[in-house]
Amino acid sequence: MRTAMLRSVVKRSSTLFDAQPSSSYVVRRGFSSESAPERKVAILGAAGGIGQPLALLMKLNPLVSKLALYDIAGTPGVAADVSHINTRSEVSGYAGEEQIGQALEGADIVIIPAGVPRKPGMTRDDLFNINAGIVKSLCTAISKYCPHALVNMISNPVNSTVPIASEVFKKAGTYDEKKLFGVTTLDVVRAKTFYAGKAKVNVADVNVPVVGGHAGITILPLFSQATPKANLPDDEIKALTKRTQDGGTEVVEAKAGKGSATLSMAYAGAIFADACLKGLNGVPDVVECSFVQSSVTELPFFASKVKLGKNGVEEVLGLGPLSDFEKEGLEALKPELKSSIEKGIKFANQS
């Protein structure tokens, strides 16, 4: 009876790991640690609210052989702590600009959750003045020390920080559009959770693409394509859409001045990095939504489903059929997304 219960809990567990009844973890569709290639992952901002749990989750991932934790301060402690976990990767902590080169050298994937988070009443764009400069300097270091790494950008406003990164890399002559990703996985995670609650289906079975960008109305969940199908009424789809768009604000308000989503973001960041690792390792048919250089719309960057491969983006997938409500949402988001992209490009080129 207890075993049966355990099995059912295990079956419903996260989409990052398949837990075995023996309580050991293996990454779905991945490799065992013995057969997986060597892969170095660097986290920039690793001592922060997202950085620390993300470091923990990446330490649990058997596809990682080296984990470099970089921040302006505090990383030796985080690295010492995480390094005692008995999993494959070797962990090193790096603090301060003089150590960023060592942190980045040889990295296959660089995850960036560095920068300030929102407080109640702020928009993500209110973070631009501080985070744009941080992202610019970190990307300058990436172009110098690991120009071929995949970059997973978490720092907000993602709609602007990804274009900033692209311009920095272009100036350095290292830009490869297949290797730059804005992490929008948290929007997908939220859309899946909220949809499963309303549709009364097993959350582990749910798929919902989320397209556009990562701020307010630029976040466009495509519930018409959600599976399993539930035929929810229009008013419920509208409410689910709004809740997904306001998911970040819901957390910012609940944290009441103590920051924004960190734990759910670490989970989402770990899912996305895991997908990138699988793509690099040649696992077929790895698809996640991400904010990438795109020709899906007239905008130069756009989030949609992306197939990941040995060189990063293998294919940017189209939007698929949209409901009238989603078509309206798509047109409504374009002006804001366009202006956030242009703001990032302008910043990178004038400073």
Ligand X SMILES: O=C(O)C[C@H](O)C(=O)O
Interface residue with ligand X, options 30, 45, 182, 248 (CB under 6 A): 248
Cβ of residue 74: shortest distance to ligand NAD, in angstroms?
6
Residues in 144-203 at the binding interface with ligand NAD, rule: CB under 6 A: 154-156, 158, 183, 186
What count of residues does the chain have?
351
Give the other-Cβ count within 10 Å of 291's Cβ.
29
Q: What six digits make up the tokens of 147?
A: 């120009």
Residues in 272-291 at the binding interface with ligand NAD, rule: CB under 6 A: none
CB-CB contact of 156 with 127 (8 Å) = yes
Cβ of residue 332: shortest distance to ligand NAD, in angstroms?
21
Residue 92 is a binding residue for ligand NAD (CB under 6 A): no
Give the other-Cβ count within 10 Å of 316's Cβ.
19
Pairing of strands 25-27, 17-19: antiparallel
Residues in 49-108 at the binding interface with ligand X, rule: CB under 6 A: none
**DSSP-based three-state secondary structure for 311:** coil
* Residues contributing to the annotated binding site: 45-51, 71, 118, 124, 131, 154-156, 190, 265
Number of residues that bind ligand X (CB under 6 A): 11
Catalytic residue among 40, 178, 214, 338: 214
User: d(Cα 170, Cα 167) in Å, to the nearest integer?
Assistant: 5
Cβ of residue 119: shortest distance to ligand X, in angstroms?
9
Q: Is 84 a catalytic residue?
A: no
Q: Where are the beta strands (DSSP E) in the chain?
A: 17-19, 25-27, 40-44, 66-71, 90-95, 109-112, 150-153, 180-182, 210-212, 219-221, 286-293, 301-309, 312-316
**CB closer to ligand NAD, 36 vs 70:** 70
Choosing among ligand X, ligand NAD, none, which partner's interface includes residue 251 (Cβ < 5 to 8 Å by kind)?
ligand X
CB-CB contact of 28 with 98 (8 Å) = no
* Euclidean distance between the first and the last CA atom of the chain, given in angstroms as a whole number: 65
Strand partners, 301: 293
| Residue given tokens 């959750």 in the structure block | 113
Which range binds ligand NAD by CB under 6 A, 48-56, 170-178, 227-235, 330-338?
Answer: 48-56
Residues in 65-84 at the binding interface with ligand NAD, rule: CB under 6 A: 71-72
The footprint of ligand X (CB under 6 A) covers 117-118, 124, 156, 186, 247-248, 251-252, 260-261
Q: Which residues are catalytic?
A: 214
Q: Which residues of this chain interact with ligand NAD, rule CB under 6 A?
A: 44-45, 47-51, 71-72, 113-118, 127, 131, 134, 137-138, 154-156, 158, 183, 186, 214, 259-262, 265
